Every structure is written in C-alpha cells, then in structure tokens.
Amino acid sequence: MAETRIYSPEGSVDPNAAPTARVAIGSLAGKRIGALDNGKSGARALLRAMGERLALRTGATFAGVVQKQTAATPCETDLLERLAAEVEVVLTGTAD
C-alpha cells in the first residue's frame, strides 16, 4: 500500500514564546519566596498560607503576596520585574 505524505497542523513554535528566565534553583533554604495573586477569589489567602508553610518547611523567607491588575489579563511588566528583583521563587495560581 502506498503511503501518503501529510503536513502537521501544528506548525512550528515561536522560539521567543518559550520561557527564558527559568533556572534551576536548588534548595529553597535561604531563598526568598514571593506570591503573585491572580485576582481570583481566595487566591491571596491560599497563596499566603502556601508561601508561609513552604518557607517554614524549607528555611526560606516568605516575602508576601502581590496582585496583578485583573485576573483576565497578563501580569504587568513592572510587577514581574519587581518580583524578579526581590525574590527567587514566585508562587502563583491559574484558573479559579
């Protein structure tokens, strides 16, 4: 039976779309952990509890929670830059 050649419908991927800032962080001991509230109900309380618990378990410092402007839009660049400058690890949530 003769085979048929086809295209993939996925195309290729923008190399700039891949995350570039992710690095291996090793142990959390001594690191600063921040949290980014995605704007959904309960996110701040959940992230704060997680961050504080994680810090307790690992010897890290929990640096607090900041919130992006709305749940439906990407996080503001200046807020991301601030997080990048002040903490090594960011907890956040997706969806509801």
Partner 1 sequence: MSERIDGSPDTNEGTPLPSDGPLCEDDVCALPGAEADGPAIAKIEPDLAIPSDDPEAFLEFAEARGWGDGLPLLPPTPARVERALACLPPGIDPDEVLTALPPRGGLVTRRTLAVNAVMAGCPAGTLPVLTTAIRALTRAEVNLRGVNATTHPVAPLLIVHGAVATEQDFNGGLGAFGPGNRANASVGRALRLVMLNVAGARPGGGDASTQGQPSKYTYCVAENQSETPWAPYPESRGLDAPSAVTVHCGENPHNVQDHEVRSAEQTLEMIASTMTTLGSNNAPVSSAEWFVFLGPEHARHLADAGYSREDVQRFLFEHARLPMARFRRAFEIAQYADWEEALGDDDDKPIARDPDRFRILVTGGAGKHSCVVPSWGMTASVTLPLLP
The residue assigned the tokens 């960011």 is 90
Q: Which of 45, 76, 81, 82 binds partner 1 (CB under 8 A)?
A: 82
Q: Which two tokens stand for residue 64?
A: 């607090």
Q: Is 78 an interacting residue with respect to partner 1 (CB under 8 A)?
A: no
**What binding mask, one character per residue, do residues 5-44 give for partner 1 by CB under 8 A, x or -?**
xxxxxxxxxxxxxxxx-xxxxxxxx----x----x-x---
| Residue 79: closest CA among 16, 20, 25, 34 | 34
- Taking the C-alpha atoms of residue 85 and residue 59, their distance in angstroms, rounded to an integer, is 20
Provide the minimum distance between the beta carbon of 50 and partner 1 in the complex, in angstroms, as a whole number: 12
Q: How long, in residues, is the chain?
A: 96
> Which residues bind to partner 1, rule: CB under 8 A?
1-20, 22-29, 34, 39, 41, 52, 54-59, 61-66, 70-74, 82-83, 86-87, 89, 94-96
